[in-house]
Amino acid sequence: MNPSERSFTLSRPTPVESSVDLIVCGGGPSGCAAAIAAARLGLRVVLLEATGALGGMGTQGLVSNWYSLSDGTRILTKGLFWEILTRLHGLGGLPPDKNPADPAWQKTLYAGTGFNPEKLKLLLDRMCREAGVEVRFETRVMDIDRKGPVLQGILTHSVEGCRYLPCRAAVDATGNAVLAELCDVPCRQAGRDTEKIMPPTLCGIVTGIDYSRFHRGLLQPSVEQAIEDGFFTQPDHHVPGLFRSGKQHATQNCGHLFGMDATSTASLSAGYAKGRELAQEYTEFARQYLDGCEEAELLTTAPLVGIRESRCVQGEVQLNYDDFTSRRHFQDEIGVYNKAVDIHVYDLSQEEYDRYYREYEEMDKLGVGESYGLPYGMLVPQGMDNVWVAGRCASSDVKVNGAIRDQPACMLLGEAAGSAVALSLRNQVTNKDVNTDQLRHLLRERGAWLPDITPEGDIADAS
């Protein structure tokens, strides 16, 4: 929708609320981690979430699968993420074959796990409440108020109307860099500043799967067979698949929405409608082609379409593909991760699938014990002194963004951002001047695995 040249100025005065220390915008994996970490460090935190539940893509997007937790020798994603995973296991929210205390699982390279999204919503509600985070559902960031590089407050919209919420700091965890864009922070926008947009998927939940007869390995040959049979309206070789997330159900992550732009309402709206068509078609495909899925039923599609790429903030540091390929570590790193670059197909061609397969399966996968660091500067947007960014929109080039967008990494980034805000306010310094030794110390105290790093960018002591 193209706005016309005309503009409209709101004439009704906006009520001003009392000031808070930190506003976290977006209650996905990164936003929840930021809010909980900061509140535990004593800040008064308000978490704004546009939908009615926490968890972002993991719950509202039904992307109910955490990918890449271990480098094959140890769990990399300790700290708050591990606490959440362990508590979710206690609530019966992990599949029966996953136990966080199992050393074999902890040493499984690319150990990933499906989870029950409803139980994760419940757990995140509880953890926010315990930490003292004030969660505001169905509340959107509308606009901002800044004085030079200092954010003064955020204009929100909810069922109560517009409100002005003053703050000392904010974290953009919206996935789409909504806050950063409003602050005029330079952002890379997929499809505007790049040639292509990685396609989204509208995920769903499929039930009625007999896992004793289901073999994930048969998915690709079945997809190829169905394409040959002319089954699909959109013959896509790249089908991420069905991911077990309970006794009989799975997250259905099938069907790319090519060219969909998450920053355009028209494109989003068309994408939801097409996504619902594709979701039905893929469940029918499962029923007809996959053993154990004969009785499969699509229970629901997600309230939020699954966005893989949209806007990405330009930060003080941008994690790039050279850092990734050299497995670089940083003396100020606030997290360690090992997910491969995962750029889904941009179109339906066999060449594009071959490109995806070559890059993801053959070129970019890290080996046992390999990892790369997440430097603090990727959380610090250019041009603002009291704003941080976490999660999918943290500063990274297109390729690396395709690696660090996974939920465990987003939680590492969020926990670090929330903790950095606490240090910044405590020491009265800007985001750029946060003492990263102190920050790393704080994160370690809370369980993070953050080894010492040599000036050359290697891990000094991997014990």
Using the rule CB under 6 A, is 407 a contact of ligand FAD? yes
In angstroms, rounded to a whole number, what is the distance separating the alpha carbons of residues 141 and 158?
9
DSSP notation for 236-253: -S---EEEE-SSS-EEEE
Q: Which of 22, 35, 41, 49 binds ligand FAD (CB under 6 A)?
A: 49
Looking at the DSSP bridge assignments, the partners of residue 244 are 250
Using the rule CB under 6 A, is 391 a contact of ligand FAD? yes
Q: Which two tokens stand for residue 303?
A: 């309230």
Question: What mask of x and - would describe binding to ligand FAD in positions 234 to 263, judged by CB under 6 A?
Answer: -------------------x----------
Using the rule CB under 6 A, is 340 a contact of ligand FAD? no
Question: How far are the Cα atoms of 11, 19, 26, 216, 283 from residue 174, in angstroms, in the given order?
Answer: 28, 21, 4, 32, 30
Span interacting with ligand FAD, options 6-14, 92-100, 146-154, 200-208, rule CB under 6 A: 200-208
Q: Which two tokens stand for residue 41?
A: 């460090």
Using the rule CB under 6 A, is 424 a contact of ligand FAD? no
Using the rule CB under 6 A, is 77 a contact of ligand FAD? no
Q: Which of 20, 22, 23, 26 binds ligand FAD (CB under 6 A)?
A: 26
Residue 435, C-beta contacts closer than 8 angstroms, at least 6 positions apart: 423, 427, 429
In angstroms, rounded to a whole number, what is the distance separating the alpha carbons of residues 394 and 405?
9
Q: Which two tokens stand for residue 192?
A: 């505007």
Question: How far are the Cα atoms of 9, 30, 37, 77, 324 from residue 414, in angstroms, in the given order?
Answer: 35, 4, 8, 12, 20
Question: Within 155-174, which residues bind ligand FAD (CB under 6 A)?
Answer: 173-174
Using the rule CB under 6 A, is 50 a contact of ligand FAD? yes
Using the rule CB under 6 A, is 128 a contact of ligand FAD? no
DSSP notation for 419-461: HHHHHHHHHT--GGG--HHHHHHHHHHTT-----B-TTS-BS-
Q: Which of 29, 204, 271, 373 binds ligand FAD (CB under 6 A)?
A: 29
Q: Which two tokens stand for residue 425?
A: 């306010």
Span interacting with ligand FAD, options 78-86, 120-128, 175-183, 421-429, rule CB under 6 A: 175-183
Question: Within 292-321, which residues bind ligand FAD (CB under 6 A)?
Answer: 306-308
Span interacting with ligand FAD, options 8-16, 57-65, 434-442, 455-463, rule CB under 6 A: 57-65
Give contact residues for ligand FAD (rule: CB under 6 A): 25-31, 48-51, 56-58, 60-61, 63, 65-67, 140-141, 173-176, 178, 200-201, 203, 253, 306-308, 391-392, 405-408, 410
